[in-house]
Amino acid sequence: MTKNIVVVGSGFAGMWAAISAARAVSLAQQDGEVAITVVSPTPNLTIRPRLYEAELRNMNPDIAHLLMAVGVVHVAGIVETIDSAEKVLQISKTGGGHQSLAYDRLVMAAGSQLFQPDVPGLSEFGFNTDSLASAQALEVHLQGLREKPETVARNTVVIAGGGFTGIEAATEMPIRLRAALGADAMFRVVIVDTSATIGLSMGEQALPYVQEALIEAGIETRTGTRVSSVDAHGVTLSSGERIEADTLVWSAGMRASPIVAQVPGDHDALGRVVGDPFLRAPASDGIFVTGDTVLAATDDQGNFAPMSCQHAMSLGRVAGHNAAAELVGLELHPYSQPKYVTCLDLGEWGALYTEGWNRQVRFTRAESKKIKQEINQIWIYPPAADRDAVFAVANPDFVIVP
Ligand SMILES: Cc1cc2nc3c(=O)[nH]c(=O)nc-3n(C[C@H](O)[C@H](O)[C@H](O)COP(=O)(O)OP(=O)(O)OC[C@H]3O[C@@H](n4cnc5c(N)ncnc54)[C@H](O)[C@@H]3O)c2cc1C
């Protein structure tokens, strides 16, 4: 009887998991004996790392042909429940209706979403760059500012959260505000963060470069404080300060998608399942966890994969391969990704490229910006729908690093 692998999610991890599973089945010459299905709202891969940009036209590439080329079926819908005892999913179909789907192996690749705490006014007045829809809403809002009477609040953007995504959103904002308000517009961009020093999370060696970029872009910072409320024209901080601002961009923290809570076993503070070296959810029978849904050791030095596209693409390949390997009798592949790089976009200053977990600075400014553009515009995009070419880069030890 045909066995079923179901992959939940068509992001970086889900797409590569499905392709890698198809490759393993083909390698074992068992095509036709294992069906692979991806469930996600639409057969698209959202390029989340680029959603801080203004131009959002190519941020949601269609992967329907790619999945078809490797023999993977797409079901458009959201997985609502996982019955891990019976190995059955309940799906709410995009466009209406419900469907049950049985699995022999499940690959949970439902990713993550922005954590929005219960701050008064945040859900009503806050913007973010977490999903394509929310990034589009921010861009429409910024473009609409020019229609409003000129006030300090109109020309001020507050970014809540000074981590990687907050810094990228902030350093891009002057470019976006000049496009929206005119080249000579006077504006303020303010990053608010609870930490004592914005940029320190990027490492001590990187810190001076981040600070230089913030200063050059004229970005203000408020540290050791948090946003305590938001309204249509301002943000109040826990320090008591009120910043007049029509725009608040929330960039403070990610959590695993809600469905991940239904995977049995231990979860970390971000909601990720603590995976074993083969990315199995150890307390379940037949469930693999990958991408932003798994807490996985990257090496034997105590480092764990952060929620990142860089890791999701490798985690996806390993989980997909292993899910298929268990069904077709291939050897399982342990996850390992010792090389870690970061490339932080810093707007007009350029970008900052680091290597290693202690983030040694390797390239800065324009040199690094070229790498960032290559990563963002080429490397993380889905490959062309060519089965052999895709299988050639879908093996579980394939890692893309600049
Ligand atoms: C603004 C921003 C900037 C970023 N910058 C970087 C960066 O510079 N470098 C980097 O490496 N990473 C970056 N990241 C992080 C990166 O985008 C994520 O780590 C990555 O997208 C994780 O991939 P994933 O496949 O695990 O999940 P996702 O990309 O989140 O994909 C999840 C998939 O699951 C689907 N899904 C969710 N729930 C369900 C359900 N119940 N049923 C069915 N389908 C479901 C979704 O629709 C989607 O298809 C950034 C993220 C953001 C938001």
- Is residue 384 domain-resident? no
| Cα torsion angle, 26, 400, 258, 326, sign | positive
User: Phi/psi at 276 (nearest 5 deg)?
Assistant: -90, 180
Phi, psi of 129 (to 5 degrees): -120, 35
Last residue of a domain, one of 292, 307, 338: 338
pLDDT tens for each residue of 311-358 = 999 999 999 999 999 999 999 999 999 999 999 999 999 999 999 999
**pTM of the predicted model, to two decimals?**
0.98
Instruction: Out of 196, 217, 250, pick the residue that ends a domain.
Output: 250
Q: Is residue 30 domain-resident?
A: yes
Same domain, 104 and 132: no
- The closest of 362, 356, 351, 363 to 341, measured between CA atoms, is 356
Q: What is the average pLDDT across 159-168?
A: 97
Q: Does residue 211 share a domain with residue 236? A: yes
Q: Ligand 1: which of 7, 37, 38, 40 to mutate, judged by most atoms within 8 Å of the beta carbon?
A: 40
75 & 153 share domain: no
In a domain, 360, yes or no: no
Tell me: pLDDT of 302 over 70.
Answer: yes
Within a domain: residue 290? yes
What is the predicted pLDDT for the residue at 401?
A: 66
| Ligand 1: centre distance to CA 151 (Å) | 36
Would you say residue 352 lies in a domain? no
78 lines ligand 1 (CB under 6 A): yes
Domain-located, residue 355: no
CA dist 402 and 395 (Å) reads: 18
pLDDT digits (tens, 9 = 90+) for 260-293: 999 999 999 999 999 999 999 999 999 999 999 9
Classify residue 383 by burial, with Cβ atoms within 10 Å: 0-12, 13-18, 19+. middle
* Whether residue 180 sits in one domain with residue 128: yes
Specify whether 57 is located in the same domain as 81.
yes
The answer, yes or no, to whether residue 104 has pLDDT greater than 90, is yes
140 shares its domain with 213: yes
Number of structural domains, the chain? 2
Distance CA(92)–CA(97), nearest Å, equals 6
Has residue 402 got a pLDDT over 70? Answer: no
Nearest CA to ligand 1 atom 32: 111
Domain of residue 24, CATH code: 3.50.50.60
Query: Which of 39, 53, 292 best tests ligand 1's pocket when mutated (most atoms within 8 Å of CB)?
Result: 292
Q: Is residue 399 domain-resident?
A: no
Residue at 326: amino acid letter? E
Range of the domain at 130: 122-250
* pLDDT at res. 150: 95
Q: Which protein residue's CA is at the shortest distance from atom 38 of ligand 1?
A: 110
The pLDDT assigned to 400 comes to: 74
For 165-185, the pLDDT digits (tens) are 999 999 999 999 999 999 999
Instruction: Find out whether 164 and 344 touch, Cβ atoms under 8 Å.
Output: yes
Does residue 14 line the site of ligand 1, with CB under 6 A? Answer: yes
Q: How far apart are CA 294 and CA 291, in angstroms?
A: 6
Q: Are 134 and 52 in contact (CB under 8 A)?
A: no
Structure letter (DSSP) for residue 356 = T
SS3 at position 125: helix
